[in-house]
Amino acid sequence: MPVDPLDYFDAFSRLQAEERELRETVRQFVKETFLSNVAAWWQEGRFPIALIPRLGEMGLLGADLPQAYGASEVGPVSYGIIMEALEWADSGLRSFASVQGGLVMHAIYEFGSQEQKRTWLPQLAAGKKVGCFGLTEPDAGSDPNAMRTTARRSGTGWVLDGNKLWITNAPIADLAVVWAKDEQGRINGFLVEADAAGLTREEIPRKASMRCSVTGALHFQEVFVDEDHHLPLAHSLRAPLTCLDSARYGIVWGSIGAAEACLQEALEYAKQRITFGRPIAARQLIQERLVTMASYLGEMRLTALQLGRLKEAGRLDPAQISLAKRNNARKALEIARMARSILAANGITLDYQAIRHMLNLETVDTYEGTYDVHTLIAGQALTGSSAFS
């Protein structure tokens, strides 16, 4: 049987029947609702918010959480397959689902009260409410412990002051999960509703990456949050980092989708593009790039699948997620750059996918821990020595 260039090592055959079926279903949904318009949305710099309830109806938001909270309760590999299928269309679409599920719903599920879970999770799973996750600040990205946002006790609740920056969905969110330091310097989590007095927000304009995703800032000036909006089980930086592990796992899978779309486009283009009387696909230099792309993609798939099986067995370590996020995000970016170069001049237009994926993947390589930060995490796991500071 000839090799499948998009699945060189036949990782697909190691999926279970329902996992394969899910892959087809989500891809079909994405094709019908998203793919034909994504270049225009990306150019306009907007996310199609009308699609959010459809994502909920399809069971794609927080899909790994329990059915008791309105979610789909799929296993880790199926969750990854959903992320892959969404990012096959655009990293912005996968980012929306990652933030809503991996960050916001996970924060409430892991660290919230029963009441908070019952109130928010079904609405977020259905796409009736949109969430955002505010950890990063103007002067605290890779080092979130340097955050300046404060939470001081006051009467029956807390008062928040500070600023969050680079927050996906912030301008369209109904609910923000916000991380702030209390008077003892401990990191606490809060559920802040969009209409809270003293909360203002704005969109970050002029992005050249992740344009089909809304990114913004949140400003808190004496924002009162009642105790029932305080996450009772979050007591330290460990809490947001746990949520990040869940979202990073989604990136390990999602980046495969973007990379696959780029390889497929480059292969098709190379076979039909004639220079000097022959298709460029028949040239050694072009084949070298295509083979490198197929090799990276094959390795990315096997890595993601192995992570999924480890997660199913309850044996997945955060350091393994870090190394895989570092590898898959960077390899996807390299694949997209190679695809763009094979398409040459045509590759710089939004009529093709490569440059859109390439520019998006610059963010994927940066957020949820940069390539460097994951190098340091994996380096510490390897050597036992921290090289962070």
Ligand X SMILES: Cc1cc2nc3c(=O)[nH]c(=O)nc-3n(C[C@H](O)[C@H](O)[C@H](O)COP(=O)(O)OP(=O)(O)OC[C@H]3O[C@@H](n4cnc5c(N)ncnc54)[C@H](O)[C@@H]3O)c2cc1C
- Report, in Å, the least distance between residue 38 CB and ligand X: 16
CA 330 to chain centroid, in Å, comes to 14
Structural contact between residues 178 and 219, judged by C-beta atoms closer than 8 angstroms? no
Name, in order, each residue with C-beta under 8 angstroms of 186's C-beta and a sequence gap of 6 or more: 235, 236
Instruction: Give least dist CB 194 to ligand X, A.
Output: 15
- 297 or 355, CB closer to ligand X? 355
> Least distance (Å) from ligand X to the CB of residue 71?
20
Q: What angle do CA 196, 199, 201 make, to 5 degrees?
A: 130
Q: Which stretch binds ligand X (CB under 6 A): 146-154, 181-189, 294-302, 359-367?
A: 359-367
By CB under 6 A, tell whether 388 contacts ligand X.
yes
For the segment 154-173, give every residue that binds ligand X (CB under 6 A): 166-168
Residue 198 to residue 222: CA distance in whole angstroms: 6
Size of the site for ligand X (CB under 6 A): 20
Residue 50 CB, nearest distance to ligand X (Å)? 21
CA neighbours within 13 Å on the CB side: how many for 296?
A: 28
Interaction between residue 142 and ligand X (CB under 6 A) = yes
Smallest gap from Cβ 380 to ligand X, in A, equals: 11
Residue 135, interface with ligand X (CB under 6 A)?
Answer: yes
| Minimum CB distance to ligand X smaller for 219 or for 309 | 219
Helices 284-312 + 76-89 axis angle, to 10: 150
Which of 113, 370, 380, 381 touches ligand X by CB under 6 A? 370
Q: Does 372 bind ligand X (CB under 6 A)?
A: yes
Q: Which of 52, 99, 270, 354 binds ligand X (CB under 6 A)?
A: 99
Provide the minimum distance between the beta carbon of 251 and ligand X in the complex, in angstroms, as a whole number: 11
User: Which residue's CB is nearer to ligand X, number 166 or number 296?
Assistant: 166
Residue with tokens 């500071």: 389
d(CA 71, CA 148): 34
List Cα–Cα distances, 92 to 218, 254, 366, in angstroms.
Answer: 20, 11, 14
Closer of 6 and 210 to ligand X (Cβ): 210
Does residue 136 belong to the site contacting ligand X (CB under 6 A)? yes
For residues 206 and 189, give the distance between their C-alpha atoms in angstroms, rounded to a whole number: 30
Binding span for ligand X by CB under 6 A among 117-125, 132-140, 220-228, 257-265: 132-140
Contact stretch for ligand X (CB under 6 A) within 76-84, 115-123, 155-163, 362-370: 362-370
Is the Cβ–Cβ distance between 149 and 177 less than 8 Å? no
- Per the CB < 8 A criterion, the answer to whether 57 and 93 are in contact is no
Question: Measured between alpha carbons, how far is 150 from 378 in angstroms, rounded to an integer?
Answer: 31
Cα gap 93→85, rounded to integer Å: 10
C-alpha dist (Å) from residue 160 to 178, 179, 232, 301, 364 = 9, 10, 16, 42, 30
Q: Tell me the DSSP string of 171-203.
A: GG-SEEEEEEE-TTS-EEEEEEETT-TTEEEEE
Q: Give min distance, CB of 136 to ligand X, in A.
A: 3
352 binds ligand X (CB under 6 A): no
**Whole-number minimum distance, CB 358 to ligand X, in Å?**
15
**Active-site positions?**
368
- Taking CB under 6 A as the binding criterion, the range among 79-87, 113-121, 134-142, 329-337 that sits at the site for ligand X is 134-142
**Contact call for residues 266 and 258 (beta carbons, < 8 A):** no
Nearer to ligand X by Cβ, of 29 and 190: the residue is 190
Site string for ligand X, 256-295 (x = CB under 6 A): ----------------------------------------
* Nearest to ligand X of 131, 308 (CB atom): 131
Q: Binders of ligand X among 181-240, rule CB under 6 A?
A: 210, 215
Give contact residues for ligand X (rule: CB under 6 A). Answer: 99, 133-136, 141-142, 166-168, 210, 215, 363, 366-368, 370, 372-373, 388
